[in-house]
């Protein structure tokens, strides 16, 4: 492999690391914060399932990003991912709930504008609509699940100790599913832009063949896992502490709702099943894991009488939809200009 590939991939890997560091908290933050699951256990499960999700189910949302803009030169892909990574870093420092999904789309549109490629507005609209739908859908699923679980707990007469044990196991399983869905849905943000530009050959390992895309997803998945292992502990404690009043039942429902939404926007299997049933399909689009969780928690809060909703938080989400992609788009556009004219790299 050409060593320059690694250098150009570095921005994507950094983005993956940031994603792992931040978004693992959406999957396991409440469980770890409420001391229902140990951080070590959470980090191990999260890392394994993020990689599995990325490699097995990562193709769907990557394809959608490819349709938005097929970046054909590695330096161009590098700058697009770097623009997204910088935006995420800056916005996170500013205390906004940002999403790598929204940053990378801005970056791609920036590349399109710089190279004069037309942006498919239909795809762009689908993506933006999905961002808005994601927290709403998570809220609706959370409300239904929470209500059903409350009724079940009321009539099952389970002992407090047993409810706790089941919830602990449930949080682990939901976390594993959540990590898988996160890997499947968000791997496109990390390495999706590199797909058209990178040339790997198919790898045979123990009778299983890994396509070039899957190899790239594996590298990206490992970057996410590295972020989980090295930096997620503090974020998880903060999420758990910040949402201190959330009960373990609500935590479980929030993670499951988040995971269902992320999985629905990533699963080709679900898409095929909906098609076979003659039902409308769900677009395969990378969405924001943080916003899915916030949507679910707001849903539960509304069900409980809406006393705990912080409208400012909702404001920052809407801000994120607009500000993150615009910022990433600008950085991408000007970064590409420098890369092409100062560093003499082929960006398309």
Partner 1 sequence: MSRMNKLRLFGRTRDLESQIDDFLDKLSESTVMFRLGVRTYLKEGANGEFDVKLKAVNKLESEADALRRNIEKELYTHTLIPDARGDVLGLIETLDHVMNLFEGVLWSISIEKPDIPSEFRAGYRKLTNMVVQAADALVLAARAFFRTPHAVADYNHKVIIFEKEADKISTQLKRDIFNSDLDLSRKTHLRNFVEQIDNVADWAEDVADRLAIYAIKRTV
Residues within the interface to partner 1 (CB under 8 A): 34-36, 154, 157-162, 164-165, 247-248, 304
Q: How do 208-210 and 203-205 pair as beta strands?
A: antiparallel
Buried b (16+ CB within 10 A) or exposed e, 44-71: ebbbbbbbbbbbebbbbbbebbbebbbb
DSSP code string of 269-318:
HHHHHHHHTTPPPPP-----HHHHHHHHHHHHHHHTTSTT--HHHHHHHH
The continuous run of DSSP H or E covering 6 comes out as: helix 3-33
Q: How far is the CB of 165 from partner 1 (least distance, A)?
A: 4
DSSP string, 192-244: GGGTTT-----EEETTEEE-HHHHHHHHHHHHHHHHHHHHHHHHHHHHHHHTT
Question: What are residue 204's DSSP bridge partners?
Answer: 209
Q: How far is the CB of 157 from partner 1 (least distance, A)?
A: 5
Task: Choose between 237 and 319: whose C-beta lies nearer to partner 1.
Answer: 237
Smallest separation, CB 248 to partner 1 (Å): 6
Residue nearer to partner 1 on the CB measure, 35 or 147: 35
- Cβ pair 330, 110 in contact under 8 A: yes
By C-beta, is 159 or 312 nearer to partner 1?
159
Please, what sign has the CA dihedral across residues 107, 177, 243, 301? positive
Minimum CB separation of residue 169 from partner 1 in Å reads: 8
- Given the complex with partner 1, which of 196 and 308 has the nearer CB atom? 308
Q: Which is nearer to partner 1, 56 or 173 (CB)?
A: 173
CB of 154 to partner 1, least distance (A): 7
CB of 259 to partner 1, least distance (A): 22
> Between 30 and 232, whose beta carbon lies closer to partner 1?
30
């Amino acid at each position: 492999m050409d060593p320059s590939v690694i250098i150009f991939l570095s921005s994507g890997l950094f983005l993956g690391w940031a994603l792992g560091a931040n978004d693992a908290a959406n999957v396991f933050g409440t469980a770890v914060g409420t001391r229902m699951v140990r951080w070590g256990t959470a980090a191990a499960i999260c890392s394994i399932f993020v990689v599995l999700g990325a490699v097995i189910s990562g193709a769907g949302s990557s394809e959608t990003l490819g349709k938005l803009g097929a970046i054909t030169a590695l330096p161009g892909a590098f700058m697009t991912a770097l623009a997204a990574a910088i935006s995420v870093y800056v916005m996170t420092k500013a205390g906004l709930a940002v999403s790598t999904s929204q940053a990378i789309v801005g970056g791609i549109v920036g590349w399109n504008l710089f190279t004069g490629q037309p942006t498919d507005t239909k795809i762009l609209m689908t993506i933006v609509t999905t961002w808005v739908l994601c927290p709403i859908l998570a809220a609706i699923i959370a409300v239904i699940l929470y209500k059903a679980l409350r009724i079940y707990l009321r009539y099952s007469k389970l002992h407090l100790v047993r409810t706790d044990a089941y919830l602990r196991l449930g949080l682990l399983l939901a976390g594993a599913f959540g990590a898988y869905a996160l890997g499947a849905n968000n791997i496109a943000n990390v390495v999706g832009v590199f797909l058209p530009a990178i040339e790997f050959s198919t790898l045979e390992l123990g009778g299983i063949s890994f396509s070039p895309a899957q190899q790239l997803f594996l590298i990206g998945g490992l970057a996410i896992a590295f972020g989980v292992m090295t930096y997620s502990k503090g974020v998880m404690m903060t999420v758990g502490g910040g949402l201190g009043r959330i009960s373990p039942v609500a935590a479980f429902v929030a993670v499951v709702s988040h995971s269902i939404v992320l999985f629905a926007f990533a699963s080709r299997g679900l898409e095929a099943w909906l098609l076979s049933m003659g039902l409308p399909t769900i677009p395969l689009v990378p969405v924001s894991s943080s916003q899915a969780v916030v949507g679910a928690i707001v849903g539960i809060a509304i069900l409980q009488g809406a006393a705990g909703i912080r409208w400012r938080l909702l404001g920052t989400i809407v801000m994120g939809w607009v500000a993150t992609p615009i910022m990433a788009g600008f950085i991408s556009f000007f970064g590409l200009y420098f890369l092409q004219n100062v560093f003499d790299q082929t960006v398309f």
